[in-house]
């Protein structure tokens, strides 16, 4: 790796991390938000690996920091796909920030790299205005929330009236699944536990169209 470092020494400045990490995060989060058939994923992967390649001095550190960054990215994906409560998302973001900050050669370079993650992540949401978003984010996108201003008053009232009712799980809840109430099916989430199909549960909370149940 040292031979490769000699070819890119001219690029190593404090602010280069902002550009490389920013672009990498932009493309990787962008691939999660919109379907670009892997193009953004490849661009993001190249950018992030380039950052760690520039600043790490041995193979072990390089692999460790790359793994931490992508575990953080995976946690964000899992949070958006399954849990949708922000907990894993925050942990994932912390992991990403830690990996780029600890890899940087000095404080200023680390701050630039962290700023790159924040800017890249924020800018990636602009892609939703240009490309078709993935269905996995339908639950957490603000524009998809069913509010009274959008004309969903009746639907919201229907969901609000479910609180306290008993329901039957018609799929396993891991923790997201489908329940049946009064002959109608709804998507619901358990309170952090896995519930088997055919279990009677109670609806304890409704937030918009998000239904929380417990066994």
- 130-144 per-position pLDDT tens digit: 887 765 544 444 444
pLDDT score of 136: 53
pLDDT score of 174: 80
Strands 184-190 and 210-214: parallel
pLDDT score of 127: 85
Tokens linked to 176: 């997201």
Average pLDDT of span 5-32: 76
Query: Would you say 45 and 139 are in contact if contact means Cβ atoms under 8 Å apart?
Result: no
pTM (2 decimals)? 0.55
pLDDT score of 177: 86
What are the residue ranges of helices labelled H in the chain? Answer: 2-7, 16-33, 39-55, 59-78, 87-103, 107-124, 153-160
pLDDT score of 187: 87
CA distances from 148 to 97, 112, 209 (A): 38, 42, 12
Q: Exposure string (b/e) for 77-89, b if CB count within 10 Å is 16 or more? A: bebbeebbeeebb
pLDDT score of 7: 40
CA distance 114 to 133: 26
What's the mean pLDDT when you consider all of the chain? 81
pLDDT score of 172: 86
122: Cβ contacts below 8 Å, ≥ 6 apart: none
pLDDT score of 154: 58
CA distance 59 to 71: 18
**Is the confidence at residue 47, as pLDDT, over 70?**
yes
Count of CB atoms situated within 10 Å of the CB of 68: 18
Residue 4 pLDDT level (bands cut at 50, 70, 90): very low
Which domains, ranges and CATH numbers included, belong to the chain? 2-137 (no CATH), 147-214 (2.40.50.140)
- Tell me which of 143 and 192 has the higher pLDDT: 192
Residue 67 pLDDT level (bands cut at 50, 70, 90): very high
Average pLDDT of span 14-31: 90
DSSP 47-104: HHHHHHHHH--SHHHHHHHHHHHHHHHHHHHHIIIII-SSHHHHHHHHHHHHHHHHHS
| Highest mean predicted confidence (pLDDT) among 9-13, 86-90, 107-111, 191-195 | 107-111
Tokens linked to 115: 């700023």
Closest CA to 72 of 43, 101, 50: 101
- Residues of the chain above pLDDT 70, percent: 81
Count of CB atoms situated within 10 Å of the CB of 33: 21
**Is the confidence at residue 31, as pLDDT, over 90?**
no
């Amino acid at each position: 790796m040292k031979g490769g470092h000699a070819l890119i020494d001219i690029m190593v400045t404090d602010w280069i991390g902002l550009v490389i990490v920013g672009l990498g995060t932009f493309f990787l989060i962008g691939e999660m938000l919109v379907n670009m058939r892997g193009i953004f994923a490849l661009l993001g992967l190249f950018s992030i690996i380039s950052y760690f390649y520039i600043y790490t001095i041995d193979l072990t550190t390089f692999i460790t920091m790359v793994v931490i960054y992508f575990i953080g990215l995976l946690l964000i994906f899992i949070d958006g796909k399954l849990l949708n409560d922000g907990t894993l998302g925050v942990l994932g973001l912390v992991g990403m920030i830690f990996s780029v900050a600890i890899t940087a050669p000095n404080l200023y370079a680390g701050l630039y790299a962290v700023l790159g993650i924040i800017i890249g992540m924020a800018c990636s949401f602009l892609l939703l205005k240009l490309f078709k978003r993935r269905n996995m984010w339908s639950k957490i996108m603000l524009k998809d929330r069913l509010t009274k201003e959008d004309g969903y008053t009746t639907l919201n009232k229907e969901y609000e009236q479910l609180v306290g009712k008993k329901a039957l799980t018609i799929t396993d809840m891991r923790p997201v699944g489908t329940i049946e109430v009064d002959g109608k099916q709804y998507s619901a989430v358990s309170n952090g536990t896995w519930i088997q199909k055919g279990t009677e549960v109670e609806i304890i909370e409704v937030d918009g169209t998000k239904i929380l149940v417990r066994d």
